[in-house]
């Protein structure tokens, strides 16, 4: 590293080689992470940002031949380093054997982690072309894939290593004369292995604002006020958006009962209270910490049992409603914490118990489960000159997404072009429209393109989880092993808002008899509101015992 004299003073001079090209790093980029430099300065978006703290491996690159997390290195520390990204692996149009092997072995699913996996393999095969299982496991420690299959990765590694050693290699026949039974590469396989396939956060719109959500720090409270004056004084902050900018805007997959920005009753720590819009993500992040929230803290309930107990505080009552005083209120009797109650049955279950040789009477529980997709949520809204808009986001429901964007933009749905971008994993967790509605409100209010990307922490905090269930199961069995009857009671923690509860519990009671023919059946399902994060769709939803 050399010092260099400029008109503004003495600065370090940092030069790196990236994909065989030398780059002198500009002074204003010295504090950037290598990941951000690659993505935002050079437009090399093959390295992905899954966690930004060295845990997921999606940002892997080679630094002097070693596989490294690019989010952990500042540019000022990389002087003289030789960096290889996934974009530099192929030889023109000819894929590297590792990339080709990933396609042949069908490694990818959503593909978000694929560039990081490929660079981990590249680092491994630089050290040895005959890797042992232990060496492969070590190289893949912390290279997380949520939806793919590691055994296929191992096959791809052995194939690539053999080809790189110059050994003979014959691929298993996967395409047969009959189309049915054949395996073909994914249509976007080349984009996934070269890093050229774009996910939402890989899009860059010149002049766009970056958003940071301010969430509630209280699980149950009345919002008394938001003071954004300090945040607004930060150079580069353009606007702090609150409920006043979208007072009638609610979202939710089935019942629209969740405010896009809360202005009254706070029901969980996943409640969005404000959106800071700034010229860069760093400015927005820093300014969001300066937004002051004034709360009146209210009693909270964190389990469905508590929520349904006599005298439990109401999760849903808004104390700011006319006629209900904010200060000095007393908690109301709990009559509003039931999200849904339903019952199905057939035959005579009491008769079945009377005739049973064996009765099994047990209680079970399942836990809240996080989807764990590697790509965090992101939405970009762009205003066009003709009064129309484009929204780019990762959704599971394109038409619902367009209609909700239109509500947030206060325009006709015909004026919104919703672009469904490659989804980097979802498993049911990207089924609501909060992020795109926030970016649309930002665009409506500022007239500029707005991107809202969640950090890993914010993603974990906000998006709905699998319902935790408590189950009381009573089974009547005959002496010859036949199931005569089943009676059960399912209690689900629905969290703060309705979300998918009104669809999931009906499925749960129906699925609760499993694959068996049971002549006498009696099932009751209840979902309760609590002050936890909302529960929603997650992999095979409604089957309470399903493993993730």
Taking residues 74 to 113 in sequence order and writing x for each that binds ligand FES by CB under 6 A, - otherwise, the string is ----------------------------------xxxxxx
Taking the complex as a whole, the smallest distance from the CB of residue 208 to ligand FES amounts, in Å, to 26
Taking residues 113 to 142 in sequence order and writing x for each that binds ligand FES by CB under 6 A, - otherwise, the string is x-----------------------------
CA distance 253 to 124: 44
Q: Smaller CB distance to ligand FES: residue 192 or 407? A: 192
Q: Smaller CB distance to ligand FES: residue 68 or 146? A: 146
Contact 79, 16 (CB under 8 A): yes
Q: Smaller CB distance to ligand FES: residue 112 or 497? A: 112
Contact 60, 98 (CB under 8 A): no
49 is an interface residue for ligand FES by CB under 6 A: no
Taking the complex as a whole, the smallest distance from the CB of residue 124 to ligand FES amounts, in Å, to 17
Taking the complex as a whole, the smallest distance from the CB of residue 63 to ligand FES amounts, in Å, to 23
Task: Find the binding residues for ligand FES in span 349-378 (CB under 6 A).
Answer: 374
147 is an interface residue for ligand FES by CB under 6 A: yes
Taking residues 450 to 489 in sequence order and writing x for each that binds ligand FES by CB under 6 A, - otherwise, the string is ----------------------------------------
CA distance 524 to 342: 6
Taking the complex as a whole, the smallest distance from the CB of residue 114 to ligand FES amounts, in Å, to 6
Taking the complex as a whole, the smallest distance from the CB of residue 327 to ligand FES amounts, in Å, to 49
Q: Smaller CB distance to ligand FES: residue 145 or 452? A: 145
189 is an interface residue for ligand FES by CB under 6 A: no
Neighbours of 267 (CB within 10 A): 30
- Of 79-87, 145-153, 248-256, 464-472, which segment contacts ligand FES by CB under 6 A? 145-153
SS3 category, 99: helix
Q: In this structure, are strands 9-18 and 82-84 parallel, antiparallel, or unpaired?
A: parallel
Question: Which of 492, 548, 488 minimizes the C-alpha distance to 516?
Answer: 488
Q: Smaller CB distance to ligand FES: residue 110 or 238? A: 110
CA distance 253 to 494: 14
Taking the complex as a whole, the smallest distance from the CB of residue 100 to ligand FES amounts, in Å, to 17
CA distance 105 to 152: 6
Question: Which of 437, 453, 405 minimizes the C-alpha distance to 284?
Answer: 453
HEC-encoded secondary structure of 187-251? CCHHHHHHCCCCEHHHCCCCCCEEEEEEECCCCCEEEEEEECHHHHCCCCEEEEECHHHCCCCEE
Long-range contacts of 187-193 (CB under 8 A, 24+ apart): 188/111, 188/422, 189/102, 189/103, 189/108, 190/95, 190/103, 191/111, 192/102, 192/108, 192/111, 192/114, 193/86, 193/95, 193/99, 193/100, 193/102, 193/103, 193/108, 193/114, 193/115, 193/118
Q: Smaller CB distance to ligand FES: residue 455 or 524? A: 455
By CB under 6 A, the count of residues binding ligand FES is 12
Identify the sign of the CA torsion 97, 103, 108, 112. Answer: positive
Which of 36, 48, 81, 146 lies at the binding interface for ligand FES (CB under 6 A)? 146
Taking the complex as a whole, the smallest distance from the CB of residue 426 to ligand FES amounts, in Å, to 10
Q: Smaller CB distance to ligand FES: residue 111 or 313? A: 111
Taking the complex as a whole, the smallest distance from the CB of residue 419 to ligand FES amounts, in Å, to 20
Taking the complex as a whole, the smallest distance from the CB of residue 132 to ligand FES amounts, in Å, to 24
Taking the complex as a whole, the smallest distance from the CB of residue 375 to ligand FES amounts, in Å, to 8
CA distance 453 to 496: 23
Contact 503, 254 (CB under 8 A): yes
Task: Find the binding residues for ligand FES in span 371-410 (CB under 6 A).
Answer: 374
Which of 253, 304, 425, 468 lies at the binding interface for ligand FES (CB under 6 A)? 425
Contact 531, 267 (CB under 8 A): yes
**Which residues does 233 contact at the CB level (< 8 Å), separation at least 6?**
none
CA distance 102 to 115: 10
Q: Smaller CB distance to ligand FES: residue 111 or 495? A: 111
Neighbours of 320 (CB within 10 A): 15
Task: Find the binding residues for ligand FES in span 7-46 (CB under 6 A).
Answer: none
Q: Smaller CB distance to ligand FES: residue 193 or 405? A: 193
**Which residues does 440 contact at the CB level (< 8 Å), separation at least 6?**
379, 381, 389, 391, 405, 408, 409, 450
Which of 30, 118, 145, 231 lies at the binding interface for ligand FES (CB under 6 A)? 145
Q: Smaller CB distance to ligand FES: residue 34 or 193? A: 193
301 is an interface residue for ligand FES by CB under 6 A: no
Q: In this structure, are strands 60-63 and 66-69 parallel, antiparallel, or unpaired?
A: antiparallel
Q: Smaller CB distance to ligand FES: residue 107 or 210? A: 107
Taking the complex as a whole, the smallest distance from the CB of residue 112 to ligand FES amounts, in Å, to 5
Q: Smaller CB distance to ligand FES: residue 196 or 366? A: 196
Torsion angle of C-alpha atoms 217, 221, 224, 227, degrees rounded to 10: 0
Taking the complex as a whole, the smallest distance from the CB of residue 436 to ligand FES amounts, in Å, to 21
**Which residues does 152 contact at the CB level (< 8 Å), separation at least 6?**
105, 106, 107
Taking the complex as a whole, the smallest distance from the CB of residue 424 to ligand FES amounts, in Å, to 6
Residues that bind ligand FES (CB under 6 A): 108-113, 145-148, 374, 425
């Amino acid at each position: 590293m050399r010092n260099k004299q400029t008109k503004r003073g003495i600065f370090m001079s940092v030069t790196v080689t990236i994909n065989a090209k030398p780059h002198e790093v500009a002074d204003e980029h010295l504090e950037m992470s290598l990941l951000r430099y690659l993505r935002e300065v050079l437009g090399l978006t093959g390295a992905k940002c899954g966690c930004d703290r060295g845990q997921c491996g999606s940002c892997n690159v080679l630094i002097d031949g070693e596989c490294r997390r690019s989010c952990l290195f500042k540019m000022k520390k990389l002087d003289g380093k030789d960096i290889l990204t996934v974009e530099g692996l192929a030889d023109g149009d000819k894929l590297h054997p590792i990339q080709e092997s990933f396609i042949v072995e069908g490694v990818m699913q959503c593909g978000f982690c694929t560039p990081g996996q490929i660079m981990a393999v590249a680092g491994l095969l630089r050290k040895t072309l005959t890797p042992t299982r232990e060496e492969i496991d070590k190289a893949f420690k912390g290279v997380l894939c949520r939806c793919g299959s590691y055994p296929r990765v191992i096959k791809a590694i052995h194939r690539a290593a053999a080809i790189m050693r110059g050994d003979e290699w014959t691929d298993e026949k996967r395409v047969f004369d009959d189309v049915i039974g054949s395996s073909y590469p994914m249509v976007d396989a080349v984009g996934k292995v070269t890093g050229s396939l774009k996910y939402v956060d890989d899009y860059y719109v010149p002049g766009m604002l970056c958003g940071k959500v301010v969430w509630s720090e209280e699980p149950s409270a009345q919002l008394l006020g938001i003071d954004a004056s300090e945040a607004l004084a930060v150079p580069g902050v353009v606007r702090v958006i609150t409920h006043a900018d979208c007072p009638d805007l609610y979202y939710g997959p089935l019942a629209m009962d969740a405010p896009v920005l809360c202005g009254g009753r706070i029901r969980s720590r996943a409640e969005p209270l404000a959106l800071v819009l700034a010229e860069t993500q760093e400015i927005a992040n820093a300014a969001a910490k300066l937004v002051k929230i004034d709360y009146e803290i209210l009693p909270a309930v964190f389990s469905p049992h508590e929520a349904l107990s006599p005298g439990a505080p109401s999760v849903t009552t808004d104390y700011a409603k006319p006629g209900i005083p904010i200060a000095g209120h007393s908690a109301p009797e709990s009559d509003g914490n039931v999200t849904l109650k339903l019952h199905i049955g057939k035959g005579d279950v009491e008769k079945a118990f009377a005739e049973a040789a064996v009765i099994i009477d047990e209680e079970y529980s399942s836990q809240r489960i996080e989807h764990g997709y590697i790509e965090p949520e992101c939405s970009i809204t762009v205003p066009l000159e003709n009064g129309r808009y484009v929204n780019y986001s990762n959704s599971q429901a394109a038409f619902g997404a367009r209609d909700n964007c239109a509500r947030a933009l206060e325009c006709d749905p015909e004026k919104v072009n919703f672009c469904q971008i490659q989804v980097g994993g979802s498993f049911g967790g990207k089924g609501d429209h909060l992020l795109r509605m926030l970016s649309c409100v930002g665009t409506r209010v500022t007239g500029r393109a707005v991107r809202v990307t969640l950090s890993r922490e914010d993603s974990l905090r906000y998006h709905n989880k699998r319902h935790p269930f408590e189950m009381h199961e009573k089974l009547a069995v005959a002496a010859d092993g036949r199931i005569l009857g089943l009676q059960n009671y399912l209690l689900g923690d629905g969290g703060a808002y309705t979300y998918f509860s009104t669809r999931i519990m009906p499925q749960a009671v129906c699925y609760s008899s499993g694959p068996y023919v049971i002549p006498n059946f009696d099932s009751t399902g209840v979902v309760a509101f609590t002050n936890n994060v909302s529960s929603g769709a997650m992999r095979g939803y409604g089957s309470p015992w399903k493993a993730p």
